[in-house]
Structure 1
């Protein structure tokens, strides 16, 4: 095979997420913290920085969860400020499609895309729990299918609004009449520099996979291991064809954590220490309650797991997502607890409920990340630092140079827009 015939090496896409809820984070209201993370991500040549969000503090049995982050500012406002202190880094906001309206949000996203020179992204989410609706006149908590249906139409309407201006600056009236929205008028903001801001979406469910294949530019997932990742990657990518899209039209990027050490043993010890800090006795019980679906406050976190089975329709959850098949998870955790003689807290620490982790030396982590992308388990990764705002620095300083040496990551930005960083030719469905 000649050099001209040899396929181009698949490169890694990297992004960073600012946690919206994280018991190791300090109050999220100081701009200096956001600026530090953004500058570090841009120094590391990341595709984008994602701000997570929630429209109400997490609650548990009618009380605000004591481990929830305090002070959660509106993300698009923060990204507007970050646009002024960064030059190339993509700026993505998590914005709820259940309790917002298309015209208002499309206008704000188009404005950010103009102010940043084409670097805006929108992580589309639906309300995750019944508590949130109480903050809004609409109230209540639509069922899952209704939330997905509204979100899909919401994205479609936003794209109609962005397309209502021609590329050469001519405004045209718009009109949309659908199940959830009935609006008509004229959009106030010219067509965004990217055509459409990049649309991001998370979800491992059947509905989430299908929705991402139809409408998303970037998809988040929890599948970070090689074999699980390859199966998920292949499944989602093959769904694109039915929507007239190619595998290169969607980037799949698992959210992961990274813990480094001079040796593997040191990295593992650091990771264990981080988990111990993150999972307090109180947090361990609440994690278990989200699986079992009942009040477990009378249980000793240093004692054994409950012998009772999880309930199928827990009132305690009020719409909050559970950790997959609760019965299967409970059985798995009981087996782990019995095998290693672990208490409730030790089991939660050992098993975890969060995102995949890459733990090891910088060289080992760089090799593992590269292997996952080269073997089609992912197109890249969204790093979620366990400490803020300095939790990204070590990865940028110690792992990024190794990825560059391997030819697995860019050595400079090759474009100015988020869409160009991701290697996307146009908005989803536009080619």
Structure 2
């Protein structure tokens, strides 16, 4: 008798609403509003039509600045994330709804209420992407300003998540609400929660930090990691490292899903896909954007340089404050050295160097080859799934859902229908154990 074929590892998919970075091709005539609700609705409905696990919204708490001016790639006027997701709960049925919310500039009681409310209104589809900040520039918008030392941001985040879970557990489903009391390093609160325990028990927790502290925090507290490691080698190393950490917290590997952010370009042939990818890259890195990217590394005003000319022969200023509100380049001198070597080896201009160094697409090819590559990544433990970041708003996900998803379904690695109603069920995550005592 032929032994049964082992089940193929299933792929998890999520959709990231584009914008607030150079991924978006703003100049494309198909690029729509980043603010109108119709754009959010279109992308969310497309993701649900494709049976995706969740829809993901980033959040910025302050408009970034470049040389004292608002950064051109920022979206000005975008609504607050949880507000948008509450509206999307009314026009979707199964799609998970994930909001990025800072654990540095919020408080556990208020955020726990808001996330529990979203979970109730959506029937158990809420998720929270936990982010941290030690950025005094962003903190100026808040009462305590830049009070938080960088070394404390993950200790506060860990206590924040634990406290939110205590609050969600303080009112069991079908039971009487209980008073809560939490007294820790960062929070000393007590009282009663005004919203019943969420349908999922706890909304899904997503985390995106890549430092050692961030990986440890994810292993201890997260359900999903929003990873930046999209190449097979880097993905497998990251996947193995984080999954290995779970045991020290009494968790199993399947209790944490690793989903890198990825981009894709499809063509009828491999050659056509490569040509489209090259065009998109050049659209993403306009002459102006090339100089902005260069200034982020160099920390200097380089507006007098020709984007089609050579790289600057001056060194970066590592302690520059030219760019505010963006993640600082960790080692600008090393990055500049790599870019110079690349430019000299290939005879590239400033713009061509930035395109070559930064504008890389994760998956480029025909629908069949992209589907095969996605399956290979997941089958070899380079990822558990992917958060797709399209380059167009709001229709950038349409071709993937129409052309790639059916092939993944034919391969037996992606669902053909939703089998559950909650985001936890889509992700295959266990229900959280109620820790408040006997209901």
Q: TM-score, normalised by structure 1?
A: 0.95
Q: Report the CA distance between 1:141 and its aligned residue.
A: 6.0
Q: Distance in 2 between matches of 1:203 and 1:301?
A: 33
Q: May I ask how many residue pairs the two structures share in their alignment?
A: 428
Residues 1:398 and 2:403 are matched in the alignment: yes
Cα offsets for 1:32-82 (capped at 9, x unmatched):
111110110000000000011111221112210122223211111111111
Residue of structure 2 equivalent to 1:387: 392
Asked whether the 8 Å contact 1:164–1:174 carries over to 2, the reply is: yes
Q: Which residue of 1 aligns with 2:420?
A: 415
1:152 corresponds to:
158
Matched, 1:300 2:306: yes
Q: Give 1:373's aligned residue.
A: 378
Deviates more, 1:143-152 or 1:408-417: 143-152
Aligned residue in 1 for 2:16? 17
Partner of 2:184: 178
Task: Report the Cα offset of residue 132 of structure 1.
Answer: 1.8
Secondary structure in structure 1 of the residue aligned to 2:306: coil
Q: Which residue of 2 aligns with 1:233?
A: 239
Aligned residue for 1:195, secondary structure, equals: coil
Aligned mates of 1:34, 1:165 — CA distance in 2: 33
- Structure 1 residues 159-191: Cα deviation after superposition (integer angstroms, max 9, x where no partner): 110011123332111111112111110001111
The whole-number CA distance in structure 1 between the counterparts of 2:316 and 2:366 is 39
Inter-partner Cα distance in structure 2 for 1:428 and 1:254 = 28
CA contact (8 A) 1:323 1:353 kept: no
CA contact (8 A) 1:245 1:429 kept: no
**197, 212, 223: which is aligned to 1:217?**
223
Q: Which residue of 1 aligns with 2:65?
A: 59
Give the distance between the partners of 2:402 and 2:114, measured in 1 at CA: 34
> 1:376 and 1:324, CA in 2 relative to 1: closer, same or farther beyond 3 A?
farther
Alignment partners' CA distance in 1, 2:134 and 2:182: 27
Distance, in Å, in 2 between the alignment partners of 1:151 and 1:385 is: 29
Aligned partner of 2:114 in structure 1 is: 108
Alignment partner for residue 352 of structure 1, among 329, 354, 358?
358
Contact 1:20 1:51 in 2 (8 A): no
221-230 vs 312-321, which deviates more? 312-321
Corresponding residue number in structure 2 for 1:138: 144
Q: Distance in 1 between the 2:420 and 2:212 partners?
A: 34
Matching residue within 68, 71, 87 for 2:77: 71
Could you tell me how far 1:260 is from its partner in structure 2? 0.4
Listed as ranges, the gaps of 5+ residues in structure 1 are none
Match status 1:314 vs 2:320: yes
**Deviation for aligned residue 1:278:** 1.5
- 2:43 is aligned with 1:37: yes
Shift, 1:320, TM fit: 3.3
Alpha-carbon separation, structure 2, partners of 1:389 and 1:376: 31
Structure 2 residue ranges without an equivalent (≥5): 27-31
Residue 122 of structure 1 aligns with which residue?
A: 128
In 2, distance between residues paired with 1:357 and 1:399?
A: 15
In the aligned structure 1, how far is the partner of 2:228 from the partner of 2:72? 25
Could you say what secondary structure the match of 1:142 adopts? coil
Question: Residues 387-413 of structure 1, C-alpha deviation per residue, up to 9 Å, x if partnerless?
Answer: 010000000000000111111111111
CA contact (8 A) 1:124 1:201 kept: yes
C-alpha root-mean-square deviation of aligned residues, in Å? 1.9
**What per-residue deviation string (whole Å, max 9, x for no partner) do you get for residues 209-258 of structure 1?**
11111110000111111111111110111011111111111000000011
TM superposition shift of 1:287: 1.2
Match of 1:261 among 260, 267, 271: 267
Q: 1:69-111 CA deviation, whole Å, 9 max, x = no partner?
A: 2321111111111111111000011111111111111000000
Give the secondary structure class of the aligned counterpart of 2:136: coil
2:193 counterpart of 1:187: yes
